[in-house]
Amino acid sequence: MPLRPDLIDILRNEAAPIVILTGAGISKESGLHTFRDPDGIWAKYDISEVATPDAFIANPDLVHHFYNDRRAGLLDPAVQPNAAHLALAKLEAEWPGDVLLVTQNIDDLHGRAGSQNLIHMHGELQKIRCTHCDLLTDWRDDLTKETRCPSCSKSGGLRPHVVWFGEMPLEMERIYAALGSCGLFISIGTSGNVYPAAGFVQIAHEEGAAETVELNLEPSSGATLFDHSAYGAATDLVPKFVAALLKTSD
C-alpha cells in the first residue's frame, strides 16, 4: 500500500480534499484502448491527422471516422465501468472531505460508475458542438460533415466535443483551484505525456502541499515527481487503495 496507515489517519481526520486525475489506463480493462501503449490508438492513427484543429480542417472525413468508430465502440454492451471506476465513485460518496475527479478520458465510464464531482478536461465523446451557433448537445450517432446542426440547421460546423492538441482543456480554473488546496493528489492510468495534466502533480505538491500518489501499470514519465507509487492493473490497485483510505475491505 503506497500510503502509510498513520498518514491515512491524518488525511481522514483533516477531511483532506482529494483530487484524482485519471487517464486511458483506467478504462483499459473495460475494453477501451489506451493511446501510447504498443497496441494503443496512436499505433494505428497519426496524432497530427486526427487530433488537432488543423487535421479537422484538412480532412474532416478522417477525423469524423476516427471519433465515430470510438463513439460506436463505447455503445458496445461489453464496455462497462470496471472495479477501478466503481471504487472511485465509492471514495467520493464515503470520504469525509471533497473528492474531485478530473479525467482526461472522453468515455463516460466514470459517470456510469456513479462519480458526480467529475470534470472531463479533454471533453466527452458522446457530445458534439456546433462551431456556427455554439450548440453543445448529447450525440450517440455517427457524425459527418453533411450532418445538419439540430439548432441552426447549418452543415459543416458540427465537431466532436473533444480537446485537440493546441486547444485549451476544459474547466482549468476549477481544476487549478482544487489542486492548490488539496491534501491528496492521486494520478491513475496516465502516461504523463500530455500537458497541462502532466503538470498537475507539481501544482498539487507545491501549492496544495499535498501528498501525491501514482497508481499505474508502469512508472509514468513523471514518476519521480510523486511521493508514493504502486504499479499494477487499475482494477487491482484502485479498489485496494480506496479500501485502505476508507478503512473498509475491498
Q: Is residue 6 a contact partner of residue 87, using CB atoms and an 8 Å limit?
A: no
Residues pairing with 112 in the sheet:
none
Interacting residue with ligand BJW among 8, 16, 21, 23 (CB under 6 A): 23
Minimum distance from residue 9 beta carbon to ligand BJW (Å):
27
- Which residue of the set 85, 110, 122, 161 is catalytic? 122
User: From CA 36, how far away is CA 19, in angstroms rounded?
Assistant: 24
Backbone dihedral angles phi then psi of residue 22, each to the nearest 5 degrees:
-120, 155
The stretch among 87-95, 143-151, 178-186, 210-218 that binds ligand BJW (CB under 6 A) is 210-218
Pick out residues in 35-94 that bind ligand BJW (CB under 6 A): 35-37, 40, 51
Nearer to ligand BJW, 164 or 226 (CB): 164
Nearest residue to 75 via CA among 20, 22, 138, 162: 138
122 is catalytic: yes
Rounded Cα–Cα distance for residues 212 and 19 (Å): 10
Cα end-to-end span (Å), the chain: 13
Q: Which is nearer to ligand BJW, 16 or 179 (CB)?
A: 179
- Binding-site ranges for ligand BJW (CB under 6 A): 23-25, 28-29, 34-37, 40, 51, 104, 106, 122, 162-169, 172, 189-191, 193-196, 216-218, 220, 233-234
